[in-house]
């Protein structure tokens, strides 16, 4: 009886030593795996849920939506003194908060943001440039970025054809100032407020 017990013990030891990779694989496979799809499912963001695109993402309609606007000038593509207009390449960044979407990153393997949510699935502010006199020719950005704290971000490039009152009597020692005014088409100041970010933008 002692002999049989010893043989079984030796056999188990041999199995443990001969297949360390198998035991290691089982340990790794037990770790939790998460995806962006898990977060989107939890938030119920899908093509069929059109309610998220219709109104501002707030729980109390009396609350104002704050939109942070940052502008970077890539370059002046052209100026026409006779027509009093100029063409500029801009990169704009809009950020606002959604009361409807947030999650705890610890519940989803540390996922803190989703980088490519189609714009048609979520509300975005209808911001235009008042001085624009031609349609923006830059391809629109199709995606939004959603952060776990509810912040939504939209980055897009723009080709702006705008009016600009130019005084060139002192050329070539003149300085021209061209103003771009960003505003919402449908929302009042009580509903939506733009806050300028960066040194090149001033609040209106």
What is the pLDDT, as a whole number, of residue 15?
Answer: 42
What is the pLDDT, as a whole number, of residue 59?
Answer: 93
Residue whose C-alpha is closest to residue 117's, from 153, 65, 148: 153
Would 166 be classed as within a structural domain?
Answer: yes
Q: Are residues 23 and 105 in the same domain?
A: no
What is the pLDDT, as a whole number, of residue 134?
Answer: 84
Q: Are residues 26 and 76 in the same domain?
A: no
**Is the pTM above the cut of 0.95?**
no
Q: Is 183 exposed, middle or buried (0-12, 13-18, 19+ CB in 10 A)?
A: middle
Q: Are residues 87 and 10 in the same domain?
A: no
Q: Are residues 12 and 109 in the same domain?
A: no
Cα–Cα distance between 113 and 39 in angstroms, integer?
9
Q: Are residues 105 and 69 in the same domain?
A: yes
Q: Are residues 138 and 45 in the same domain?
A: yes
Q: Are residues 17 and 100 in the same domain?
A: no
Domain that holds residue 22: 2-31
Q: Are residues 25 and 49 in the same domain?
A: no
- 101 within 8 A of 153, measured Cβ to Cβ: no
Would 203 be classed as within a structural domain?
Answer: no
What is the pLDDT, as a whole number, of residue 51?
Answer: 80
Query: From first to last of its 204 residues, what are the pLDDT tens digits of the chain?
Result: 444 443 433 333 444 444 444 444 444 456 788 899 999 999 988 887 778 888 899 999 999 999 999 999 888 888 777 778 888 899 999 999 999 999 999 999 999 999 999 999 999 999 999 988 888 888 888 999 999 999 999 999 999 988 887 776 666 656 777 888 999 999 999 999 999 886 455 444
What is the pLDDT, as a whole number, of residue 13?
Answer: 43
What is the pLDDT, as a whole number, of residue 81?
Answer: 77
Q: Are residues 102 and 181 in the same domain?
A: yes
What CATH number did the domain enclosing 47 receive? Answer: 2.70.170.10
Would 44 be classed as within a structural domain?
Answer: yes
What is the pLDDT, as a whole number, of residue 24?
Answer: 46
Kindly list the distances between the CA atom of residue 10 and the CA atoms of 1, 4, 19, 24, 187, in Å, as whole numbers in the listed order.
15, 10, 15, 21, 78
What is the pLDDT, as a whole number, of residue 92?
Answer: 93
Q: Are residues 73 and 89 in the same domain?
A: yes
Cα–Cα distance between 195 and 77 in angstroms, integer?
27
Supply φ then ψ for residue 146, to 5 degrees: -115, 130
Would 95 be classed as within a structural domain?
Answer: yes
What is the pLDDT, as a whole number, of residue 30?
Answer: 61
């Amino acid at each position: 009886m002692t002999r049989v017990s010893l043989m079984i013990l030796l056999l188990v030891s041999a199995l443990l030593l001969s297949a360390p990779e198998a035991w290691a694989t089982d340990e790794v496979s037990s770790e939790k795996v998460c995806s962006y799809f898990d977060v989107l499912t939890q938030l119920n963001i899908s093509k069929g849920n059109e309610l998220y695109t219709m109104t501002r993402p707030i729980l109390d309609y009396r609350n104002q939506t704050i939109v942070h606007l940052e502008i970077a000038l890539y370059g002046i593509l052209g100026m026409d003194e006779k027509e009093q207009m100029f063409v500029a390449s801009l990169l704009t960044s809009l950020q606002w908060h959604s009361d409807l979407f947030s999650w705890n990153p610890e519940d989803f393997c540390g996922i803190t943001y989703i980088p490519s949510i189609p714009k048609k699935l979520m509300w975005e502010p209808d911001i235009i440039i008042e001085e624009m006199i031609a349609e923006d020719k830059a391809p629109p950005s199709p995606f939004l970025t959603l952060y776990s704290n509810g912040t939504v971000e939209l980055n897009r490039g723009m080709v702006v054809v705008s009016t600009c009152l130019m005084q060139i009597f002192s050329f070539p020692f003149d300085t021209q100032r061209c103003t771009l005014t960003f505003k919402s088409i449908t929302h009042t100041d009580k509903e939506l407020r733009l806050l300028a970010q960066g040194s090149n933008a001033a609040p209106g």
